[in-house]
Structure 1
Amino acid sequence: MPENKTDPRGPWVVDTRELGRRAGLSRAVRREATVDAELGVPDVIVVPAGATVELDLLLESVVEGVLVTGTAVAPLAGTCARCLDPLTDEVEVDLTELFAYPNSTTEATTDEDEVSRLVDDRIDLEPLVRDAVVLALPLVPLCREDCPGLCPECGRKWVDLEPGHGHETIDPRWAALADRLGDDRPSGESPDK
């Protein structure tokens, strides 16, 4: 049965004392945690501050520590990179992290920033989830995969424009002549004629 109790230190902290230190023991953990500050690239794509992240994890006792595997699902809000419309979505990330026991061989043989560690038999999941979510965010968020974007000439959305939309462009070599002639040309005639 999944464990849903939260540690008094917050929903990101998991107490592993009930798991025990004998290799092979495991415990499922399902809970929701709130993001304090937005995660991501502001004005592009973020997990908004105050958003709820759903955690579905398995904690396994191994020789050197506690192995955490599972998923985290978080809502996203941002702006489409092509048409600049607001967008909402969600991101699901897979998590796998070893939290080393104090005084274990892993703790003794690795730098502090290489392996996560248990502190007072507790695991802080927030850095793990934060890093995984930020790395999983799309570099170019789109409202839909086939978003046509904006017309480079007038800046209007292609989806709102009539078929055959275009802008008359004058060959720069003829620009001075076109300026001199003004709009005296018959309708539809290009400056090349």
Structure 2
Amino acid sequence: MTAVPPAYGDGVAQAVDAPFRYDIRSLGRRPGSMIESHRTVVTPIRIGTEMVAIEPGTEMDLDLRMESVSEGVLVTGTACGETAGQCSRCLEPIEGTVTVFLTELYAYPDSETDKTTADEEVHRVDNDYIDLEQALIDAIGLELPMSPLCRADCQGLCPDCGVVLAVAEPGHSHEKIDPRWAGLADKLDAIGDENRGDGSR
């Protein structure tokens, strides 16, 4: 059973081991009833894309309004957190901040919305709780870039040696031989080695 501490000053209790899950019993079901919740929580999960995300243990600021409407609880507001990841071109570490705007309806059990809407299309109130975790995962995943960059003009890595081009010497390059002539070049090198060997005797 989830342990729940006393309600915060905003009147909404928060589960100890589920920071995105809110007890909304104090809200009631009278349309127009509203609670504002402003708090900082620590995310227990990674939220983001493969290359950049809000990492577990990171603080997130949640500034929310929970309003009772005829079909459920309408949650609006913002969520903000620090991100960490890698540049998709040079693989150097990057840091930033992401802010998302939420507008989510949590349907009451047995409401018309609950009865007529597929599970994946609407969130639901569950035993006087609403859980923002999936809504945050979806919103932050859409807001963060799939291919983040340390800067817009990042040159990435040298395709030959893998050095970060931003810190490589000016004019960094590698001599390349047309593969059609590579065999001939090897033979010429071998002949040169033999000639140098003959001269040393």
TM-score bracket for the superposition, by shorter chain length: 0.7 to 0.9
Say which of 13, 22, 25 aligns to 1:17: 25
SS of 2:119's equivalent? coil
Cα shift at 1:68: 0.6
Unaligned runs of 5+ in 1: 185-193
Identity %: 48
Q: Does 1:163 align with 2:170?
A: yes
Q: Does 1:31 align with 2:45?
A: no
TM-score by length of 2: 0.79
Unaligned runs of 5+ in 2: 1-8, 193-201
Aligned pair count reads 182
Match of 2:151 in 1: 144
Q: Is the 8 A contact 1:4 1:30 kept in 2?
A: no
SS of 1:158's equivalent? coil
The whole-number CA distance in structure 1 between the counterparts of 2:47 and 2:156 is 26
SS of 2:63's equivalent? strand
Q: What's the RMSD between the two structures over aligned residues?
A: 2.3
Alignment of 1:174-189 (within 5 A): 174-182=181-189
SS of 2:145's equivalent? coil
Give CA deviations for 1:96-120 in whole Å, capped at 9, x if unaligned: 1101112211112123332211123
The whole-number CA distance in structure 2 between the counterparts of 1:136 and 1:48 is 15
TM-score by length of 1: 0.82
The whole-number CA distance in structure 2 between the counterparts of 1:173 and 1:127 is 55
Cα shift at 1:162: 2.4
Alignment of 1:3-152 (within 5 A): 3=10, 6-8=13-15, 10-41=18-49, 44-152=51-159
Cα shift at 1:4: 7.1
Cα shift at 1:152: 1.0
Cα shift at 1:129: 1.4
The whole-number CA distance in structure 2 between the counterparts of 1:117 and 1:23 is 17
What amino acid is the match of 1:35? T
Give CA deviations for 1:32-71 in whole Å, capped at 9, x if unaligned: 22221323455x3232111112111111221111111111
- Closer, same or farther in 2 for the Cα pair 1:11/1:181, shift >3 Å? closer
Q: Which has the higher helix share?
A: 2
